[in-house]
Structure 1
Amino acid sequence: MSKEVSVAVQQHAGQIADVISMKATVQDVLKSQMQEDVHYGKIPGTGDKPTLLKSGAEMLRMVFNMSTICEATDVIVDTNDKGHKTYEICMHIFNKEGIKVATGLGTCSTMESKYKYRSQLTDRKVPSEYWDSRDKALLGGSQYSPKKVKGAWLISERVEHDNPADYYNTVKKMAKKRAMADGILTA
């Protein structure tokens, strides 16, 4: 075997050993330092697979001495004059030597239901028969839900926000969080 081939094989073996070591480190951190629903958890409506949360991504970033650079790559403005925006963020991940090892992508939009809608109380009380069947038709339809206010159960209506600009900063930061978690997972 030539000297060059021998060196290449040794480098490759070293890279494999590094990957195995890093995976073991992640597992150790997961078991000894991370807490479910703080660093990782299941996001309702996305299945049963646990997801790395922002605090977990930050912990792994510290463990592996990684740094990040955030770049807003795209802002899409809704054309229907309601002012909705979708933010796309790239998070570049660098190792301790300053070499880029991954780029994470995160998007978020004011059209996502948690930003698009708000809850508005009505003056109507929840009918007692609702509690037997939990039939939303008794409240007025699927956009209505019960909400306890000062000891009384009132009907709350899900209505669209009239000013999406109130959430631009929140949505942009959520896209950034998603990009960081994606970048750390990719690294």
Structure 2
Amino acid sequence: MNDDFKVKEDNYTYALSIIENMDIGNIEDSMNKIYKFQKVIQKTLVEGHDYGKTFYGSSKPSLLKPGSEKILMLLGISSEYEIIDKVQNYEDGFFAFSVKCILKKNEKIVTEGLGHSNSRERKYLGGKQDVYMLGNTCLKMAKKRALVDATLTVASLSDIFTQDMEDMTQFEEEERVETMSLKDAKDIKVTFGKYNGKTLGEIYKNDKGYINWLCEKSRDDGIARACKMLLSSEFDTEEIQKKADRMPPE
């Protein structure tokens, strides 16, 4: 028996012993409490303030700083920050910070989260922000990302929220909209209304009127553009067919 196999076998045996010594009743009770807590959070937090909207390409909304602070307040948890790495190059205008967020309850550490930000992120490039303010901006962003990372862990909320990326959401959404293909448009899943859970392609086959309505009324640029592409593809197909019908037989 080689050493690697022996180590794997020992690890498996140790993991199995942990499971065997667990009180399944207590575990089931804890899982139910986590599920109920998640439901309370979903009902209580406010979209657009405590968490960001779900943009296309993402299956979950992003937890924002105000939402994180509310969750920690509910749990009676305090936060502290520690800069674990930094670069401050004022001559070249480059700043980078890596921050640890330490969550405590009754002065005992519960968990930690990490966050990083630097001035070469695309959202800072080409901006008009004072280069000497970028350092402070990056530090605040790193702290915010570390806070959300820690909150998602301590509250077991990764099932319903993703990392705090609202600062990048607009850029990413614009980029996706600009590069969207017809297949991308068809695959976008609607997360609201009577067709909740259906893709635009599925809806298009059964209810083109609803696609037309979304094209005009949707406040989501990605969905509006996708609907326009679907309707345009229908028009193009019809025009091609009409031209083919008008052509004399060979």
TM range (shorter): 0.5 to 0.7
In structure 2, relative to structure 1, the CA distance for the partners of 1:46 and 1:69 (3 Å cut) is farther
Q: Which runs of 4+ in 1 moved over 6 A?
A: 43-46
Hey, what's the Cα distance between the residues in 2 that align with 1:45 and 1:77?
A: 36
Match status 1:70 vs 2:37? no
- Greater share of strand: 1
CA distance in 1, matches of 2:125, 2:56: 17
Paired amino acid for 2:40: D
May I ask how many residue pairs the two structures share in their alignment? 135
The amino acid of 2:142's aligned partner reads A
Partner of 1:132: none
Cα distance, 1:65 vs. partner? 0.9
If asked which structure has higher relative contact order (CA below 8 Å, sep 6+), I would say: 1
Does 1:17 find its partner at 2:29? yes
* Residue matched to 1:60: 71
Q: What TM-score, normalized to structure 2?
A: 0.47
Q: Which runs of 5+ in 1 are unaligned?
A: 1-7, 120-160
Q: Percent identity?
A: 28
Between the aligned partners of 1:28 and 1:45, the Cα distance in structure 2 is 25
1:84–1:165 contact (8 Å) kept in structure 2: no
CA RMSD of superposed structures (Å): 2.8
Which structure's residues are more often helix, by fraction? 2
Matching residue of 1:174: 141
Residue number in structure 1 paired with 2:153 = 186
Query: What does the per-residue CA deviation read over 1:83-139, in whole Å, with 9 as the maximum and x for residues that have no partner?
Result: 201111000112x333322111111111123323225xxxxxxxxxxxxxxxxxxxx
Aligned match for 1:90, one of 90, 97, 100: 100
What amino acid does structure 1 have at the position aligned with 2:99?
A: I
Q: Does the C-alpha gap of structure 1 residues 82 and 178 become closer, same or farther in structure 2, counting only changes over 3 Å?
A: same
Structure-1-length-normalised TM-score: 0.61
Alignment of 1:4-43 (within 5 A): 9-10=22-23, 13-31=25-43, 33-42=44-53
Higher CA-based Rg? 2
* Structure 2 residues not aligned, in runs of 5+: 1-20, 155-250
